[in-house]
Amino acid sequence: MRLRSVALENNRGDEGRQLLQRSFVCKSEEIGRDRYKSKEVIWWWTKDLKQVASMQEKYNRFESREHKHPSMASKITVMPFHTLSVTILVVVVLVHLHGTEAQQQPLVQGLSWNYYQKSCPKLESIIKKQLEKVFKKDVSLAAALLRVHFHDCFVQGCDGSVLLDGSASGPIDSEKTAPPNLSLRGYDVIEDLRSRVNKECGSNTVSCSDITAIVARDAVVLTGGPQYKVPLGRRDGVTFATRSATLANLPSPFVPTGTLLTNLALKNFDATDVVALSGAHTIGVAHCTSFTRRLYPTQDTTMDKTYASNLRRVCPNANTNATTNMDLRSPNVFDNKYFVDLMNRQTLLISDQDLYTDKRTRSIVTSFAVNQTLFFEKFVDVMVKMGQMEVLTGTQGEIRKRCSVRNSNELLISSVVEGDNMDSVESL
């Protein structure tokens, strides 16, 4: 592919810069596609360093002509990359490079970046210190807790409703027991943190939904992901969604990108948001039943043959309930290798792999695969955005003393216990 040098020289301002960035991403993508059978697409990008140098020179001329001072908005650089104990060079596109701290974007009324500064100043340190111990024993809980936050926010907003037990808070057929949520884990970790925070700051100070949001952030940070601030001030819901509403609002692992984009657009997420959120699959596991339709009765042509063969050993039939890592390369590290997996056709879910197949999201996947900084930046943006979905603030909802039951149910249970009638407690 020839670079569009003339167009670059003639275009000025952001338009010219964006054209250069698109050309570079397209070149990287083309190289990866042409060498598809390689074990690591990244290796082959090092073969075109002369062209990269030429692009760097063109871009530097473009920047010096356009600005009197060096621009920090975007630049191309070459950075070291280590793989198979050999140091090589990888070309990386750095777009809008300004760190991975949460941007001070507008917040929903009632939320604040320092909501508990006076009422519970040790809140975040209490949570992080305990999670460090939890993840040291079982790092898989990091992905599990991040997933709890996703599932909470996508259904009825970030109100902690997915934490509610149906038996103690309403009909047994609750949000927590809807099929997509049956595999959620980590409720006990959140409940333990609830107790620790209550002891430090009182039981009517910090909401379970805020604890869940902080836990999700720390799950990312403690596995190697970006540090960012979490807007706080959410209140806990007193109702939970029905089974049908839960099914309707949670993205399915079996849908193509088109469906995913259409459904999430209703929640104000664009294509970049969708791809960035999907990047959370860089940690965690998936059950065989969520992807075996790509293996049986015939193999999905968008899956690498060797990868598929290895998966069939883990999942010998379509109904196997075993699990396997979602990220082939670094399953317990929050990084951008998930996107490299996509480019190598080595991912589990239909909804994941199709992000690279679909032309609307392919270039976004490529840009995240070659630039972890960019992925981290966009992931932070969308996490802060998601964390404000349909939140309850002010006097709405309540602050639960226990995350699994509404306060009204808590009072009922307490009164029964005081009456020493354990049969009644068990029937609730």
Q: Is 309 annotated as a binding residue?
A: no
268: left (phi over 0), alpha (psi -120 to 50) or beta: left
Distances (CA, A) of 307 to 84, 117, 301: 19, 49, 12
Q: Are 155 and 246 in contact (CB under 8 A)?
A: yes
Residue 317, Cβ neighbours under 10 Å: how many?
10
151 in catalytic set: yes
Q: Is 363 annotated as a binding residue?
A: no
Distances (CA, A) of 221 to 312, 324, 423: 33, 22, 44
Q: Is 282 annotated as a binding residue?
A: yes
Q: Is 132 annotated as a binding residue?
A: no
Q: Is 256 annotated as a binding residue?
A: no
Q: Is 14 annotated as a binding residue?
A: no
How many residues does this entry show for the chain? 428
For residue 172, the number of C-alpha atoms closer than 13 Å in the C-beta half-sphere is 2
Distance CA 86, CA 129 (A): 36
Q: Is 384 annotated as a binding residue?
A: no
Q: Is 270 annotated as a binding residue?
A: no
The reply to whether omega before 179 is within 30° of 0 (cis) is no
Q: Is 327 annotated as a binding residue?
A: yes
Among 82, 96, 98, 151, the active-site one is 151
Q: Is 159 annotated as a binding residue?
A: yes
Q: Is 54 annotated as a binding residue?
A: no
Q: Binding site for heme b: residue ranges? A: 281
Residue ranges for the known binding site for Ca(2+) are: 152, 155, 157, 159, 161, 175, 282, 327, 335
| Catalytically annotated residues | 151
Annotated binding residues, written as ranges, equal 152, 155, 157, 159, 161, 175, 251, 281-282, 327, 335
| Binding site per annotation, positions for substrate | 251
